[in-house]
Amino acid sequence: MKRITILLFLLTLAAPAAADDYLRLSLNHERSSNTTFFDRDCEPSGEPVAYFGCIDGDDGRPIGARGDFGNSLGGELAWGRDFNHLWRGEIFVGYQPNFDFDGNANFIDSGLNQPVDGSLSHWRGGVQGYLDLAAVAGHDNWPVSPWIGAGIGVVRNRVSTMVYRFPELSGQPALTTVPGGSTTGIMWTVSAGADFEITPRNVLEVGLTWADYGDVRTGTGNIEVIRSGNLLVEVPVGQTRSSLEAWGVRVGLRHYFKR
């Protein structure tokens, strides 16, 4: 994904720009939706074993880690073109760091307070299209131009080591660590916003976004069970999986090259 970012930047420097080509740079502040980590397969055939398993916890729900990934401030870089007064499209890359998972697990006989934490970041890239609602209404001269958009692309989610803490167990500290992992998949997004023309070649845009960033998966490997500050055992387990969906606010500047 970093190579895509560099390639896009080089295109902005080397590619001949048409009259309606633009470069967009945006800041994105996103808030994740609630999510749950479960086993990718709670009944794996053979080794490694499942981390949670196919049973219910003390609260009557399947064992897992429920919470959300919090907030993240990131950005996007895009090369776009106005095809006509109605439509525009663009190729984009984006980076969203520091999504921090904050959740609680429900293992049996481990107390009600079982905090779970870990961090996540992702790169994304794809294409987006936008419809100018002012032009649809026949008002191209509006000082504010509302739009709606949709996009699809590829995302690479990377989650760190997940830490499961059990403060109600005797012999503190008591925790279990699960290895992190990376996942590449399909993402899609929808957006709505408005343009504010600053100069004939510079446009400020403000929008709301919603995105489905696909699966988040920990790695297959050894968990470390620590009790009373000592490593008790290492056990190979299979992947756990979750999903990442997020609402966001996007503020960006579009610069047209030859308008």
77-110 pLDDT per residue, tens: 999 999 888 899 999 999 999 999 999 999 999 9
User: 2-256 maps to which CATH number?
Assistant: 2.40.160.20
Of 29, 32, 10, 120, the closest CA to residue 75 belongs to: 29
- pLDDT tens for each residue of 205-248: 999 999 999 999 999 999 999 988 888 889 999 999 999 999 99
Q: Is the per-residue pLDDT at 256 higher than 70?
A: yes
Encode pLDDT of 129-146 as tens digits.
999 998 887 766 777 899
Does residue 10 have a pLDDT over 50?
no
Any idea where the domains of the chain sit in the sequence? 2-256
| pLDDT on residue 251 | 98
For residues 171 and 180, give the distance between their C-alpha atoms in angstroms, rounded to a whole number. 26
- 3-state SS class at 166: coil
Tokens of 39: 């086993």
The reported pTM is 0.86
Say yes or no to pLDDT of 4 above 60: no
Average pLDDT value over all residues in the chain? 90
C-alpha to C-alpha distance for 184 and 5, rounded to whole angstroms: 16
Report residue 19's pLDDT band, with 50, 70 and 90 as the boundaries. Answer: low
Letter string b/e over residues 11-22, b meaning 16 or more CB atoms within 10 A of that residue's CB: ebeeeeeeeebb
